[in-house]
Chain A
Amino acid sequence: MALLEVEDLRVAFGASTAVDGVSFSVAEGQVVGLVGESGCGKSVTSLAIMGLLPKGRGRRARRPVPAAAAEPVGSGLKATTAAPQSITASGGRSRGGADVDGRAVFDGTDLLSLAPAAMRRRRGKDLAMVFQDPLSSLNPVVPIGRQITEVLERHRGLKGDKASKEAAHLLDRVGIPDPARRLKEYPHQLSGGMRQRVLIAIAVACAPRLLIADEPTTALDVTIQAQILELLKDLVETEGTALLMITHDLGVVAGICDEVNVLYSGRVVESAPVRELFARPTHPYTIGLLGSIPRLDLPIHEPLTPIRGSIADVIRWHDGCAFAPRCDRVAASCVEGEPALVGAVHAHRCVMAEEVA
């Protein structure tokens, strides 16, 4: 049994679905990656697990209901404009809240069904999160020492000198020199890399069993990125923490992950152990992602190879493969109903996979 089992997670913001049935698991001491471009639902997935999405109207996200007469995907504008109505069975206005459905079983408890107060007792203690932008993620008017000790106070009952000592120890643990002095400083007095270390120190303050890192290196420059990844790797290895790594950067994936889930338009389109994925990418989207990485061995003026088009605002997997409009290998069978996720260790969601391979 893995530490975290996410089963058929769905998140909808009013009429639009952001995550459409995502399942994956993270075991203790394992690093699992969620990869995909902006808008594929990877951050929403992590926020849903943490219970940090603004509350919706209590209505649980339902499986999108197919339109009575499903329109072919490739029919352009008409299909796009018709999509919102076809997606929501029970439309309705939303105040920006999220409707979440599915299960996220953490150590035997479904986090999604916990009461807010019970979830607050676990957040920051059993499961913690490191965010993308280290400057905006720290409170500008509170000394960083206080921002660390408040979590120690809340979950470990440490106060005063004891808490400060532990905070200094944590800063030292994440590689911040002269920690006692730093405790009194404010976020704006630290560099970007230091701030991210502080955020990591806050996240690991109560030795969480699961750490979720949402693009932890995106806002940092390359050398600092490497240091932060080293630090996270070290935490996983020495503490046995499970790490869910959310990133769009395949370099990060190759450097740290054991398992990878590639997300597209709210669904997992391919999942595999990291070596397997890089050796034998199967889904055309994964292949496109790998192909779009700039290569050092090509001539300088060689143009980059992007995936054409951009991710659709509206998920419409029930019509067929959501990636089909951007896919080079699209065939008629791609738009005949939902493609299933096939395979166990190396799974993919592409009806043309045999041909691709």
Chain B
Amino acid sequence: MLRYTVKRLLQLSVALLGLSLLLFAWFKALPGGPENRLLPENATDSQREALRAALGLDEPVWTQYGEFLGRIVRLDFGSSLSSGRPIATELAERLPATVELSLAAMLIAVGLGIPLGYLAAKRRGTWLDFGTVSGSLLGTCIPIFFLAAMLKVVFAQELGWLPTTFRLTAGADFTDVTGLRVLDGIITGEFDIAWDAVKHLILPAIALSSIPLAVIVRITRASVLDVVGEDYVRTADAKGLKPSTVRGRHVMRNAMLPIATIIGLLLGSLFAGAVLTESVFAFGGIGSFVYQATTERDYPALMGFILVIAVFYVVINLLVDLSYGLLDPRVRVRK
């Protein structure tokens, strides 16, 4: 297991290095170059040269790449062109909101998706199966921004059951520990804050969970259908085991293998979905930041975002692969 983990970590660093190379190339390929953005149009050639030298742009490409890499490692992404604040600070402030939203959405998707997918498989061909499958098809078809807007109009504005925007009611006095408001509220014992945060989370989380929920339902259904036909499930039945034991130990443990992979991939893609949801609910996470950066062509900010998301994605994939080793002994032992 240790060897496997080390091997995977090495693969991870290679992937990240490749990514930094791509990003650097993208940055270099942008038309104009930074000196044109920073200097007025009537600047002389010698002024341009001086600035290029000052920015290190006259160095060989590889030296520049080395410096670029060095800055990334120090988490120095430069300053945002629109706000002027360091990008790393902006991201760090906003990351917890997005993490909280993504986790909540994933909780809904997994908590509902796996049981629903299991039931659909067990009752294959019934109205329940049909309803679940068509529902999940609908879930993948509705654009997130539309669903988010509809939820907001119906449940927040018309019915008034839930708040329309932000993470907490304005003026709420909260203590910041992890940045995840619900968790903070629980840790500090401020349960009213935690509950307030939950209420603010519900609608955006539902909107964001629609696609992962639909995907998990379908994967679970297919995976369970695959597994229940296996000989070892028949063996388990032949042992006279209780249905709950057969379900948990023999069906679901095997059916979880593909589901775990999908959950990992979905968790990464949730960040992308969060951009739209957060802007609808003014949730104040990375999503809103990127939305702003995109509309204002804030390239350094975008690059910082891409890097953070990429690292997240790669790390999640590593975790999924490691959990795969825990779930499936055949992966663990294979050299």
Contact = CB atoms under 8 A, between A and B. Distances in A.
Interface stretch (A137-145, A276-284, A320-328): A137-145
A95 B240 contact: no
A136 B241 contact: no
Nearest to B251: A139
Contact of A139 (B124, B240, B249, B327): B249
A182 interface: no
Contacts of A133: 231
B254 interface: yes
B125 interface: yes
A122 interface: yes
A136 B242 contact: no
A260 to B, nearest CB: 24
Interface in A33-57: 50, 52
B125 A121 contact: no
A139 B333 contact: no
A24 interface: no
Contacts of B240: 119-125, 151, 154-155
B249 A150 contact: yes
Contacts of A199: 235
Contacts of B254: 139-141
B180 to A, nearest CB: 33
Contacts of A136: 230-232
A150 B239 contact: yes
A202 B250 CA distance: 15
A121 B242 CA distance: 9
A186 B325 CA distance: 13
B330 A140 contact: yes
A146 to B, nearest CB: 8
A155 B240 CA distance: 8
B248 to A, nearest CB: 11
Nearest to A152: B239
Contacts of A146: 249
Nearest to B239: A124
Contacts of B242: 120, 154
A195 B232 CA distance: 12
B228 to A, nearest CB: 10
Contact of A150 (B241, B328, B329): B241
A142 B253 contact: yes
B interface, over-half SS? helix
Interface string B103-135: 000000000000000000000110000000000
Interface in B239-281: 239-243, 245, 249-250, 253-254, 257
Nearest to A129: B238
Given A133-B231, A139-B249, A150-B249, A123 B329 contact: no
Nearest to A125: B240
A96 to B, nearest CB: 9
A189 interface: yes
A73 B250 CA distance: 47
A186 B249 contact: no
A121 B239 CA distance: 9
A131 interface: yes
Contact of B249 (A125, A142, A202): A142
Contacts of B236: 139
Residue in A124, A138, A146 whose Cβ sees the most chain B Cβ within 10 Å: A124
B235 A50 contact: no
Contacts of A188: 329-330, 333
B332 to A, nearest CB: 9
B238 A123 contact: yes
B253 to A, nearest CB: 5
A263 interface: no
B67 interface: no
B241 A120 contact: yes
A52 B242 CA distance: 14
A154 B241 contact: yes
A151 B330 contact: no
Nearest to A135: B231
Contacts of B234: 52, 131, 137
A122 B240 CA distance: 7
B231 A142 contact: no
Contacts of B125: 95
Contacts of A123: 237-240
A214 to B, nearest CB: 10
A9 B329 CA distance: 42
Contacts of A95: 124-125
A123 B235 CA distance: 11
A140 B329 contact: yes
A67 B333 CA distance: 60
A315 interface: no
A186 B330 CA distance: 8
Contact of A140 (B237, B238, B328): B328
A128 interface: yes
A186 B329 contact: yes
Nearest to B124: A95
A121 B243 CA distance: 12
Contact of A124 (B231, B241, B250, B257): B241
A188 B254 CA distance: 15
Contacts of B230: 136
Given A142-B249, A188-B329, A137 B241 contact: no
A145 to B, nearest CB: 13
B328 A141 contact: yes
A133 B230 CA distance: 11
B235 A142 contact: no
A141 B231 CA distance: 14
Given A124-B241, A142-B249, A189-B333, A131 B235 contact: yes
Given A120-B240, A120-B241, A129-B238, 17 more contacts: A124-B241, A128-B238, A136-B232, A137-B231, A137-B235, A138-B235, A139-B232, A141-B257, A141-B328, A141-B329, A150-B239, A150-B245, A150-B249, A154-B242, A186-B330, A188-B329, A202-B235
Q: What 10 A-B pairs come out closest when comparing CB atoms?
A: A123-B240, A124-B240, A124-B239, A136-B231, A139-B232, A186-B329, A137-B231, A151-B239, A120-B240, A129-B238
Interface of B: 124-125, 230-232, 234-243, 245, 249-250, 253-254, 257, 327-330, 333
8 contacts: A131-B238, A137-B234, A141-B330, A142-B249, A142-B250, A150-B239, A154-B241, A199-B235
